[in-house]
Amino acid sequence: MRAEEREEIVRLPLLAACRPETADFLLRGAFVQRFPAHTNLTREGEKADFLYAVLSGSIELSAAYLDRETTIAVIGAPHTFIVAAVVLDRLYLQSARVMEPARILMLPSESVRQAMRGDAGFATAIAEEMANSYRNVAQELKNQKLRTSLERLANWLVHRDKETGGGHRFVLPYEKKILAARLGMAPEVLSRAFATLAQYDVHVDSATIIVKDWKALEKLAHPDPLIDDETI
Amino acid sequence: MRAEEREEIVRLPLLAACRPETADFLLRGAFVQRFPAHTNLTREGEKADFLYAVLSGSIELSAAYLDRETTIAVIGAPHTFIVAAVVLDRLYLQSARVMEPARILMLPSESVRQAMRGDAGFATAIAEEMANSYRNVAQELKNQKLRTSLERLANWLVHRDKETGGGHRFVLPYEKKILAARLGMAPEVLSRAFATLAQYDVHVDSATIIVKDWKALEKLAHPDPLIDDETI
DNA sequence: CGACGAATTGAGTTCACTCAACTGGGGTGG
DNA sequence: CCACCCCAGTTGAGTGAACTCAATTCGTCG
C-alpha cells in the first residue's frame, strides 16, 4: 500500500478514531483494489470475508427473492457496506455490485472483529457506522411503508436537489431502471410518475431534471426530516 | 437497584461482555421501571436521552407521516431499542409504546457513549446489538419490497409457528390491527388475506391459528433464510 | 344494558404491476 | 460509413393488488 493511499485511508471515519497500532494492524491485512463497472463484489448468502469501504466510485446493494430483485441502497465514498455481516460473522444479506468504477478498501473480517475487541475507539467507530446504516434503512422502511410511489419520487428529487447544491437542475446519478428499483417501483411506474410531475413543472430531458416550480414540488413531496435527512 | 435485579441486568447481552467497572459505572445512572400497557416511552423526533432495554413485556416501535402511521417492529426481552439514536446522539426516528406491561432498563445516553469510549468490550457489544438491529430492518425492507401482502402474512405465520415450537397451532401475540401494520397492510387487507388462507387449510378462530396443511402453507410462503431467519 | 372498539364483509376506487408495442440512442460489425 | 441490433425508456391496455369508506357483528368493559 502506498503512503498517500494510506493517508487517505486513515482519514476514513472508520479509522480516524482508532489507535495508530490498530490502524497498522488492520492495514497489514488490507488491500485497495480498483474494480470496473458491473463487477460483483458480494452475493447475498455468502460468508462475510471482508469489510468493504468505498474510496471512490459507487456501489449498488441489491437483494433477490424468487424471480424478483430490488435495489436496497447505493453507496458512495467514504462509506462502508455490509459491515453488519462482518461484525456478527454471518452471511451477507445483500449483493454488492460496482456501479461507477470504484476503488475499494477491503479489510479481512476476522481482523476487524479482533481490532474491535482490542480498541474501544475503533469499536465505537464501527458502532457509529452501524448506527448510521441502521438509521438509513429504518428511514427507507418508513419511506416504503408510509408513502406512495409518486411521493417517494418527489421526495427523492427534493433530496437530490439539496444534495447537489439546490440549483433546481441536476442530472440523475444512475439509470432510471435502477432509480425505479431503489424507489420500490417498476420502471414503467417511474416513467409515469415523471410524466405526472410535469403538472408540477418538473421537466425531464433524458437524465436531466429541471425543477421550475420548487414550491409546488415541495408541497407535493412533504419532505420529513425523520425520513429524508441523513444526519438528524 | 436490588441485587437480584442487578444480576438479571448484567446478564443482558449488552452488559455481559463489558468490564465490571463499566457495568458499575453504567448502572449507577441507570434505573429499572415498570410501565403499564399503552405507555408512550419515546416519540419520534425527540432527543435520545436514554437507551432502553426490555427486561420483560413487549414494546411496539412505530412511525408516522402526515396522517399515516405504521408499526416498524415489536421488541421483547432481552432486546434493546432505539440504540442508534443514543450512539449518535441524535433524534429518535421511531416512537416506542408499551404493548404488554413491561419492565424496562433505562441507561442515560451520555453514560452509554462514555462507556463505549472507555471499554472495547462494551463498545463491541453495542456494535453487535446495532448490527443485529440493522439486519432485522434490512430483512424487513426486503420483505416489504419483494413480497405481496399475502406472502408476507404466510411467511409471518411460518416464522411464528417455528418460534412457538412448531406445533402448527398458536395464538397471535397481539391485535390483528397491529399485525396488519407490522406487515404493511390495511386491517381489511389482513382480514381478507386470512380468508384467502382458508384455501390452504389455515384455520383462524379469533386469535388462534391452526395450520392443518403445513406443506401447502410453506409452499405458498417460500420462506427465505435471508429474509426470515434472525440469526443466519 | 349501552358504549366502544376490534374485526369482518361489501362495494367502489386508486395504485401499481404485467405484457406488449414502439421509439431512440449507442455500439458493433460488415 | 452505414446498417443493424440491443437495450433503456416510454406509452398503451388490461389485470390485479391494495386502499378507503361504509355497514354489520361481536366481544369487552364500564
Q: Tell me how close the Cα of B193 comes to any Cα of chain A, in angstroms.
A: 18
> Average per-residue pLDDT in chain B?
94
Q: Tell me how close the Cα of A201 comes to any Cα of chain B, in angstroms.
A: 24
d(CA A173, CA A129): 24
Strand partners, B33: B104
Q: Answer yes or no: do B58 and B17 share one domain.
A: yes
Provide the pLDDT for residue B77. Answer: 87
Helix (H/G/I), strand (E/B), else coil: B101: strand
Q: How confident is the model at residue B35 (pLDDT cuts 50, 70, 90)?
A: very high
Closest residue to D7 (CA to C1') is A177
pLDDT, tens digit, for every residue of A210-229? 999 999 999 999 999 999 99
d(CA A75, CA A57): 9
Q: What average pLDDT does the segment A132-149 reach?
A: 97
At residue B147, φ and ψ (nearest 5 deg) are -125, 150
Of chain B residues 124-183, which have a CB less than 8 A from chain A?
Answer: 124, 126-128, 130-135, 137-142, 144-147
pLDDT above 90 for B12 = yes
Provide the pLDDT for residue A4. Answer: 82
Provide the pLDDT for residue B185. Answer: 97
Q: Answer yes or no: do A154 and A110 share one domain.
A: no
- Which three cell numbers mark A83? 459491515
List bases, strand C, within 7 Å of protein CB: 6-11, 15-20
pLDDT, tens digit, for every residue of B156-206? 999 999 999 989 999 999 999 999 999 999 999 999 999 999 999 999 998
Q: Answer yes or no: do B33 and B137 share one domain.
A: yes
Are B15 and B26 spatial neighbours (Cβ–Cβ below 8 Å)? yes
List bases, strand D, within 7 Å of protein CB: 8-13, 17-22, 27
Q: Answer yes or no: do A43 and A140 share one domain.
A: yes
Q: Answer yes or no: do A81 and A190 share one domain.
A: no
Q: Nearest nt to B68, CA vs C1'?
A: D19
Q: Answer yes or no: do B102 and B166 share one domain.
A: no
Q: How many helices (H) and strands (E) does chain B have?
A: 11, 9
Domain encompassing residue B213: 147-228
Q: How confident is the model at residue B52 (pLDDT cuts 50, 70, 90)?
A: very high
At residue A53, φ and ψ (nearest 5 deg) are -130, 140
User: What residue type is assigned to position B14 of the chain?
Assistant: L
Q: What average pLDDT does the segment B140-166 reach?
A: 96
Which CATH number does the domain housing residue A176 bear? Answer: 1.10.10.10
**Of the residues B89, B111, B144, the one at which a domain ends:** B144
d(CA B147, CA A28): 43
**Of the residues A126, A144, A162, the one at which a domain ends:** A144
At residue B148, φ and ψ (nearest 5 deg) are -80, 170
pLDDT, tens digit, for every residue of A44-103? 999 999 999 999 999 999 999 999 999 999 999 899 999 999 999 999 999 999 999 999
Q: How confident is the model at residue B212 (pLDDT cuts 50, 70, 90)?
A: very high
Q: Answer yes or no: do B113 and B19 share one domain.
A: yes
Q: Answer yes or no: do A83 and A166 share one domain.
A: no
Provide the pLDDT for residue B2. Answer: 77
Whether residue A232 lies within 8 A of chain B, CB to CB, comes out as yes
Which CATH number does the domain housing residue B38 bear? Answer: 2.60.120.10
Q: Answer yes or no: do B151 and B140 share one domain.
A: no
Are B129 and A125 spatial neighbours (Cβ–Cβ below 8 Å)? no
The count of domains in chain B is 2
Q: Answer yes or no: do B55 and B164 share one domain.
A: no
Q: Which of B68, B72, B139 sits opposite A93 (nearest CB)?
A: B139
Strand partners, A31: A106
Q: Is the CB of A186 under 7 A from strand D?
A: no
User: What residue type is assigned to position B117 of the chain?
Assistant: R
pLDDT above 90 for B68 = yes
Q: Nearest nt to B150, CA vs C1'?
A: D17
Provide the pLDDT for residue A116. Answer: 97
Q: Answer yes or no: do A25 and A139 share one domain.
A: yes
Provide the pLDDT for residue B166. Answer: 87
Q: Answer yes or no: do A65 and A126 share one domain.
A: yes
Q: How far is the CA of A60 from the C1' of C21 (A)?
A: 31
**Of the residues B144, B174, B201, the one at which a domain ends:** B144
B201: burial class by Cβ within 10 Å (0-12, 13-18, 19+)?
A: middle
